[in-house]
Amino acid sequence: MSLTVEQLKHLERRLHDERAHLTMALDRYLGEQASEDGQDRQGDLSKLPFHLADQGTETMDRELDASNAARMSAELSEIDEALVRLFKVPETFGICEDTGRDIPFARLDMIPWARTCGDKPPS
């Protein structure tokens, strides 16, 4: 079962939509980081927490945001690689790299940059 032209076009749109969504989210995160850095450089202490528990929460929030940004960046890279595969070798797009079998369209619709079908490779 190869992917039809219509399915490939659908997946291309999904990849572009996901890429736009992630790019916006990363831009927003980087803009917030730049804003906070500028505030710190100007000596504005109004955002600094005064209680140790607040400082811990603030640190945890920053680490979570940084972790999410790293995940989004990695996902963006996967999407870019999927677009390259889709355009350069469309006949291999949707083929599991582990098993060589077709990746189900339902999986590709959910994760259009998927490289594997989720099955174990044959022994």
CB atoms within 10 A of CB 67: 10
Residue 50 or 12, more confident: 12
Please report, for residues 44, 54, 56, 67, the alpha-carbon distance to residue 50 in angstroms, rounded to integers and kept in the order given.
14, 7, 11, 25
pLDDT at 24: 94
Closest-CA residue to 103 (of 4, 13, 1): 1
Which of 4-8, 60-64, 65-69 has the weakest average pLDDT? 60-64
pLDDT at 43: 53
Rounded to an integer, the average pLDDT of 25-30 is 89
Domain ranges across the chain: 5-42+51-110
* pTM of model > 0.85: no
Q: Label residue 48 by pLDDT band (50, 70, 90).
A: low
How far apart, in whole angstroms, are the C-alpha atoms of residue 54 and residue 49? Answer: 6
Closest-CA residue to 82 (of 24, 27, 1, 3): 3
Could you tell me the two tokens for 99? 């098993």
Q: Label residue 1 by pLDDT band (50, 70, 90).
A: low
CATH architecture of 5-42+51-110: Up-down Bundle (1.20)
How far apart, in whole angstroms, are the C-alpha atoms of residue 82 and residue 76? Answer: 10
pLDDT digits (tens, 9 = 90+) for 66-101: 888 999 999 999 999 999 999 998 888 999 999 999
